[in-house]
Amino acid sequence: MGAERDIVAKAAVLVDMGTAKILWEKNKDLGRPPASTVKILTALVTLDRVPPTEFVTLPIAATTSKNSGVLFQRGERLAVQDLLHALLLQSSNDAALALASHVGGSTPKFVELMNQKARSLNALHSRFLNPTGLPQGGQVTTARDLALITKAALANPEFRKIVATKSYSWKSLKWEGVLENSNELLKSYDGAIGVKTGNTREAGYCLVAAAQRGDKALIAVILGSQEKRVWQDARHLLDYGFKILDSVTSGSKSLIIP
């Protein structure tokens, strides 16, 4: 596909979800700020440890965070599954802090769990310092590490269902309405199944995208792209991956896996 010319991201990787084989990469082990893609790991650690139906009492830290995606009221009780939808669809930092406090007992202890989980998945080039993805010196991940984390997260049925949700009815004490998924590929790319957007000034525009067609499934990780190109980067990679997998299935040798 001439992928080297098409992908503007600082780092990217395309992975066959079934085999975990890397089909294409650009700076796959380059340390980059993760922005809100870190919330994939936040959700995974949460689902590892508490059921989605469990209730969380909102701490003060989860009602005063910067760049809040959803307004909460201190002391109100919300189900884990509601907070996960706020976390993954609208990137709520409040939800991330609430889940971290509930699951870990404190944010620092939850971050320890995040790093332990990453190491257990062989995501060894990452260092996580908070569950939100907000800028913090020394917090880095890599395209390959995020692919490993995402592959594990998508193996969880609850996570997979949430990130594929286009909209979710929401009601809390401060706000009632519909959460819209920020991942526009769910509405525009054939077979898209999730997973998470993110951007900060330091990180640039980031996207972890997954798609499935029949028995073929792919994960594309884009780090450090541009606002108008991040979606295009993901589409290029996913299109390329499906062409490769279709070629392998048909026995054609016209496409060679890099």
Tokens of 117: 């989980």
**DSSP character for 253?**
-
The SS3 call for residue 193 is: strand
For 83: left if phi > 0, alpha if psi spans -120 to 50, otherwise beta; the answer is alpha
187 catalytic, yes or no? no
Which among 26, 28, 65, 91 is annotated as catalytic? 91
Which among 26, 28, 39, 117 is annotated as catalytic? 39
The whole-angstrom separation of Cα 225 and Cα 40 is: 19
36 catalytic, yes or no? yes
**DSSP letters spanning 62-97:** GGS-TT-SS---TT-EEEHHHHHHHHHHS--HHHHH
167 catalytic, yes or no? no
Which among 36, 65, 68, 101 is annotated as catalytic? 36
**DSSP character for 126?**
-
Tokens of 203: 């990180």
Helices (H), 55-195: 80-89, 93-104, 107-120, 143-154, 157-163, 185-188
- Active-site residues, by number, are 36, 39, 91
